Amino acid sequence: MTVIVTDSGFAADDWNGGFCTLDSLPANDCAGVDLPSDAEPEDLRARLDGLSLIRVDFPSFADGRGFSIAAELRRMGYKGRLRAKGHVISDQYAMARRVGFDEVEIDDALAARQPEAEWLFRANWTKHDYQARLRG
């Protein structure tokens, strides 16, 4: 099972639209797509309007390529749901939100090691950046 993390805390996954891979997307009419961490966001540019959810894989918490993918998708104008999936830890939640992710999908084992309170501590992500501290 998985847990969805938002600014409101833990929730069950409410997405039931399924996912296509980037390679199978042209042949399928999918509303959700799974992007690997080495994907090129540009490959989705022509299809962004038809996608309701993009899920970006984080194979390791030390692999930050997903953050760059999210930021690029938002710069390209993607307005749908953007989800980080995999090895994202609570310390990275504020960064995930800042670059454009709406939510994070984690497995039950990570949710047990890093309970909801740890994620909620970072849910006020707009106040936990150096610029906010400098403005005082």
Looking at the predicted structure, is the pLDDT value of residue 128 above 60? no
> How far, in Å, CA of 28 to CA of 123, rounded?
35
Residue 54's CB is within 10 A of a number of other CB atoms, namely 26
How many CB atoms are located within 10 Å of the residue 16 CB?
6
In this predicted structure, what is the pLDDT of residue 73? 97
Residue 106 has pLDDT above 90, yes or no: yes
What is the per-residue pLDDT across 26-70, written as a single tens digit (0 to 9) for each?
666 789 999 999 999 999 999 899 899 999 999 998 999 999 999
Token pair of 97 as six digits: 């939100």
Give residue 130's pLDDT: 59
- Cα–Cα distance list, 37 to 54, 59, 79, 89 (Å): 12, 7, 20, 16
Mean pLDDT of 119-129: 76
Stated pTM of the model: 0.89
Is 129 a residue whose pLDDT tops 70? no
Residue 32 lies in domain: 2-135
- The half-sphere exposure of 106 on its side-chain side, counting CA atoms within 13 A, is 25
The CATH number of residue 12's host domain is: 3.40.50
What's the distance, CA 73 to chain centroid? Answer: 11
How many structural domains compose the chain? Answer: 1
